[in-house]
Amino acid sequence: MPFPRQARTMDSSTNASDHSIRPSRWYLLYFALAAFDVLAVTVSWGLNHYSSQIFRETAEVNRYWSERLFDVAQLENSASRANVAVNVAFEHGLVERQRGLFDNEMSFFDARVDHLRRELAGTPHPEPALPAIETQLNTALTHQVKMRALATEVFRRIKTDDDPAAAAQMAGFDRETAFMGETVRTMRSDISDIVSGHIDQQAQFALRLRRWEMLIGMAIVGMVMGIAAYGYRLARAMTRLDKARLDALSELTQRQHAIDAASIVAMTDRDGRILSVNDKFVEISGYTANELVGKTHRVIRSDVHDEAFFEDLWKTISMGRIWRGDICNRRKDGSLYWVNTTIVPLRDSAGEITRFMSLRVDITQRKQVEQELRDSQQKLQATLSSIEDLIFVLDEAGRIVEFHAQEDQLYVPPEQFMGRRVDECLPAIAATPLNLALNEIKRGDVTSQCDYCLPHGEEDRWFNASCSPKTDLDGRYCGATVVVRDITQRKIAEAEIVAASRAKSEFLANMSHEIRTPMTSILGYTELLMHDESVRE
């Protein structure tokens, strides 16, 4: 019978679930919007803070390296002024005055080099090119030392009016001045590249920042559009949800009717008391629904199963697992019937087991057939046990798959021939005739027989094998049945008959010889007497 109480319960639960879905989605949307607002504000604040920090750091770095660029420019100017002082002394004299100017410039150069070296050593903004700049600074200082030594020689040669020597020293001085100028220009170029690189980084960061601002703006616009689209989709989804709920309720009702029509259904509470049954339960048990509701299944329990069987059943379903098995029940009239049973625990929204649904299928006829099959198998086994012949069943490939024989009748133990062909477990003297017989039935012969001999202890035993083919439903060969019979006694009897026949033949031959000699004499005398009688006449 249908379960109106259950149907009402499931209908109400469906409605409840629908109502719980709708506001929860709106709550999720509100939370998403609030989270997006917080995220947008946080990202904007973070970008502003990060950009301000980057701009401050970039400005500080640019200021620092601009100062170093100024220091290098002063070094270059100082070297140029020192070169001018020496050249003026070489061309116009005024050695003492120009020498003082040169010494002042060299002192200034040394001071700027020391200042620049300290700044580079303690820089808070290290750069990959810093080691190269320090190397160039040391190189410039080396050229400055050589310039000072050469300038001293130039001034000394001018004072002694040694113009050729002064000119030679002046050429060396100009060369060192050029080297130092090249080194300082290289140093200035590297520092300029550092400043340009930071300016480029700042420009790139500003570009990325604008892109992020654009993305945030687009995200806000997209969010507004998404809210509008979601509202439209939500309205359509609500309509579809109502239709789906009605369809699901209709399908559930149809499934209940299908289950009622095909299965024996009962619903019980956690204590095992029957809450409802369907018409098939009433029909097979012989009880009315009123006689069953409120009672446990003990009312239909038979004595086929012991208490341990039902204890295991209750232990399984009480743990929330599905139980499956065959149960023998008793009808109201006392007759027995078998059902294949599936018991499913049902849970509430909190996950607690509240009821059990049992679905049963009548398998009484199947059980009767199984019992008849067991009886037939027992009779067949008894019949086979009374047969002294050995029976082997072979598959299509000639492998032994079944056998019937006593252990003392087997030439080899079963583990040595099961799953193997006869030529794999028997000597050639037996395997060869057996394979010939099997090949004959494969070609279409109804049966084929062969005799073979096997050594057994200190004697040889003879066997007769009768091979019969097995065919499938289409008449194709699918194996063979081989019946083996011990014919040793028959072979012995045949041998004895052959020996007796041979002895008889030899005896008759000897007796014929013994009788032939006197008979010949008698016949001779008889002929002689007959001859004499004819003469007298």
| pLDDT single digits (tens) 346-358 | 999 888 999 999 9
Check: CB of residue 112 under 8 Å from CB of residue 71: yes
Residue pLDDT, tens place only, 396-434: 888 998 888 776 677 778 888 888 888 888 888 888 898
**pLDDT for the residue 313:** 93
Enter the CATH code of domain 263-370.
3.30.450.20
pLDDT averaged over the chain?
79
Q: Which residue has the higher pLDDT, 23 or 392?
A: 392
- Under the banding of pLDDT at 50, 70 and 90, the label for residue 339 is very high
Delimit the CATH 1.20.120.230 region(s) of the chain: 4-234
pLDDT digits 0-9 by tens, 137-178: 788 878 888 888 888 887 877 777 777 877 888 888 888 888
318 pLDDT band, cuts 50/70/90, is very high
pLDDT at 448: 87
What pLDDT score does 384 carry?
A: 64
Q: Predicted confidence band at 93 (pLDDT cuts at 50, 70, 90)?
A: low
Terminal CA-CA length for the chain: 135
| Average pLDDT of the residues in 45-72 | 74
Cα dist from 233 to 23, 229, 230, 303, whole Å: 15, 6, 5, 62
| CA-closest candidate to residue 422, choices 405, 403, 406 | 403
Tens of pLDDT, residues 266-292: 999 999 999 999 989 999 999 999 999
**DSSP string for residues in 415-469:** GGTTTS-HHHHS-HHHHHHHHHHHHHHHTT-S-EEEEEEEEETTEEEEEEEEEEE
Portions of the chain given CATH number 3.30.450.20:
263-370, 387-486
Written as one letter, the residue type at 322 is I
Q: Let me know: does 347 contact 320? Beta carbons within 8 Å.
A: yes
Q: Which pLDDT does position 385 carry in this prediction?
A: 65
CB atoms closer than 10 angstroms to residue 515: 10
The yes or no reply on domain 387-486 and CATH 3.30.450.20 is yes
Between 223 and 328, the more confident residue is 328
Helix axes 130-159, 163-262, angle to 10 degrees: 180
| pLDDT, mean of residues 212-239 | 75
| Average pLDDT, integer, range 333-356 | 92
CATH of domain 4-234: 1.20.120.230
d(CA 31, CA 107) in angstroms, rounded, equals 72
The pLDDT score that the predictor gives to residue 525 is 61
Largest CA distance in the chain: 210
Structure confidence at residue 410 (pLDDT): 78
User: With pLDDT > 70 as the criterion, what percentage of the chain qualifies?
Assistant: 83
Contact 339, 367 (CB under 8 A): no
User: Residue 107 — very low, low, confident or very high, per pLDDT cuts 50/70/90?
Assistant: confident
Q: Is 292 exposed, middle or buried (0-12, 13-18, 19+ CB in 10 A)?
A: buried
CA-nearest of 374, 371, 355 to 363 is 371
